[in-house]
Amino acid sequence: MKKRWMTGLVVLALAGTVALGPRVSGAATGQDNAAVQFGRLAVGEHGAVVSVDGHATRAGLEVLRAGGNAIDAAIAVGLALAVTHPQAGNLGGGGFMVIYLADEDRYTTLDFREMAPAVAHAEMYLGEDGRPVRGVNYVGWRAVGVPGTVAGFEKAHEWGRMDWADLVRPAQQLAADGFWVDPYLAGSFRRVAPTFQRYAGSAEAFLHPDGSPYAAGEKFVQPDLAWSLDQIATGGADAFYRGPIAERLVAAMEANDGLITAADLDNYRPVEREPVRGSYRGWDVISMGPPSSGGTTLVSMLNILENFDLEGADPTGAPLAHLMVESMRQAYMDRATHLGDADYHDVPVDWLVAKDRAVELAAAISPDTARKSADLGAAILTAPESPETTHYSVVDSFGNAVSTTYTIEAGFGSKVVAPGTGFLLNNEMGDFNEWPGMTDERGYVGTDPNLIAAGKRPLSSMTPTILARDGKPVALLGSPGGKTIINTVFRLVVNLVDFEMNLAQAVDAPRIHHQWMPDVVRLERAFPTGTADALMGMGHELGTGRIQGDAHCIWIYPDGARLAVADGRRSGSAAAY
């Protein structure tokens, strides 16, 4: 297996020379002359960064080259994405980091998921008729959870090496000086413009004075966001949660019948948590535990699949797709039944990821016949989630590794901006189960673990993950995509471990999604049609395939070379030196 890794490196290193960028000078690291690569693939011996956006990737790389570590760079990338990728990059949202700290030889995770404000309760989105009022938990001021990103980044910075203000500065400059809107962002702006027009703060921050959206090629300057970042550069998270930014947020909440108070902001806390751990055919899987469902569900699916011999299997053939779908069916039913914020509800993680349980679950899978989801338990349909969130990965020359996924939930979150702040607020309250006790085929899930409560964190699917060998990080994985996220990472692990694909092949390979209910398999288009036919022959129902995820990942070779691969499905940019 080792030999194939090395072959992969040679091939990719050659591919990478196409993307060889100019030498960048001026960084004070003693590595000034190291060649920098930018592109879809980038290989370097010191450090690597990959994200959805080139400005953010560059910000992270410059931090590494200036002597910062992967934690510093991850903070700089996250802040820059808040400027250049407002669909998901954020100051007003939350997320998770899975981190390897080389000095301490230890893995940890940081939970900076949003929290429900103090007024929140299980029935807050129900109208007088006892049914949910449509859209209130999705768009507008009452959909917003208390943001966690700025506090999370400040906490992560306890492991950093560079001054905080130097990590904020690249983002602040991008906001103040502006950047050219690319066609991808212009398309997103065009689609969201009618909603932004309904909110004065959002229109002011994101539209021209006549209400039209920015088009591709126009320069987009964000003075209010630059002000917010300036406050954060000088005042840290305190400026956001207790200082001048908090004042503007609370004033807007009061003026718009929002939920969040000064006390809610003051009470927000990020939490360092133990990772969820598993193993898959000799590899270690280190991932995110509750309040994300990601790591638990991922490890549980891998445990089930491990019971099948995949020797000689075709990675895009029906027999493997079937086994993966049956693993997903089980694990997503468990997700809907058991997962939520473990600070509020007893989540049986150890039982869910136990190997002996997986042996029994695997024995219930026929090699060639689809089961019916309804036969596995009571029918629960899980509500659709929108396709915006973003994942990025960073590795430094010290050996630290940071796998981050963060979000404002929907594309552009709740669509609201507190006047004068320049950043979008999340609609993460919509990730809670909104209708207690109601679980039905229309998509409501009313199970207890994820009901709304004051201070609670809504269940997430985000799955930032590190795959390790002999205790050391080898692959940094993750993706956006709502409930598809966990299956995207599942697929990446199978591609890398079972099929020994190099990282670029693993990222490119077509993906599969099934989430127990609705009982439908979705294949990305690159699957051979014969696979879809064979799956239907086994009794699976096939839904319309869509693009699944946007996985910006890094691989660390045995000789220490770092390969960053940007997923080509949306946009993306890798850099290494």
Per CB under 6 A, does 389 bind ligand DON?
yes
The C-alpha atoms of residue 145 and residue 142 are separated, in whole angstroms, by 8
Establish whether 421 is a catalytic residue. no
Per CB under 6 A, does 82 bind ligand DON?
no
Least distance CB 489 / ligand DON (angstroms): 12
Return the number of the residue (260 or 395) whose C-beta is nearest ligand DON. 260
Is 436 buried (19+), middle (13-18) or exposed (0-12) by CB count in 10 A? middle
Return the number of the residue (205 or 485) whose C-beta is nearest ligand DON. 485
Candidate list 224, 306, 388, 434; residue touching ligand DON; CB under 6 A: 388
515 token code pair: 């989430």
Least distance CB 145 / ligand DON (angstroms): 10
Name the 3-class secondary structure at 100.
strand
The C-alpha atoms of residue 158 and residue 342 are separated, in whole angstroms, by 25
DSSP state of 215: P
Handedness of CA 88, 431, 145, 293 (dihedral sign): negative
Q: What are the backbone angles phi and psi of residue 43, rounded to the nearest 5°?
A: -120, 140
Per CB under 6 A, does 462 bind ligand DON?
yes
Tokens 């809907």 correspond to 336
Please pick, among 296, 297, 337, 389, the residue that the annotation labels catalytic. 389
Return the number of the residue (37 or 461) whose C-beta is nearest ligand DON. 461
Per CB under 6 A, does 386 bind ligand DON?
yes
Least distance CB 295 / ligand DON (angstroms): 12
The C-alpha atoms of residue 501 and residue 496 are separated, in whole angstroms, by 5
The C-alpha atoms of residue 256 and residue 237 are separated, in whole angstroms, by 24
The C-alpha atoms of residue 265 and residue 254 are separated, in whole angstroms, by 14
The C-alpha atoms of residue 493 and residue 510 are separated, in whole angstroms, by 13
Per CB under 6 A, does 44 bind ligand DON?
no
Number of residues that bind ligand DON (CB under 6 A): 15
Tokens 């899930």 correspond to 445
The C-alpha atoms of residue 197 and residue 215 are separated, in whole angstroms, by 16
Return the number of the residue (292 or 502) whose C-beta is nearest ligand DON. 292
Return the number of the residue (412 or 577) whose C-beta is nearest ligand DON. 412
Give 74's contacts (C-beta < 8 A, 6+ positions apart): 60, 97, 156, 392, 394, 402, 404
Site string for ligand DON, 398-437 (x = CB under 6 A): ---------x-x---------------------x------
Least distance CB 204 / ligand DON (angstroms): 26
Span near ligand DON by CB under 6 A; candidates 77-85, 140-148, 455-463, 532-540 = 455-463
Return the number of the residue (69 or 386) whose C-beta is nearest ligand DON. 386
Subset of 476-495 contacting ligand DON (CB under 6 A): 480-482, 485
Q: Which of 335, 332, 313 is nearest to 371 (CA)?
A: 332
Per CB under 6 A, does 387 bind ligand DON?
yes
Span near ligand DON by CB under 6 A; candidates 176-184, 387-395, 508-516, 523-531 = 387-395
Per CB under 6 A, does 340 bind ligand DON?
no
Per CB under 6 A, does 295 bind ligand DON?
no
Strand-pair partners of 407: 94
Do 287 and 500 meet the contact criterion of CB atoms below 8 Å apart? no
Least distance CB 71 / ligand DON (angstroms): 22
Residues annotated as catalytic (active site), given as ranges = 389
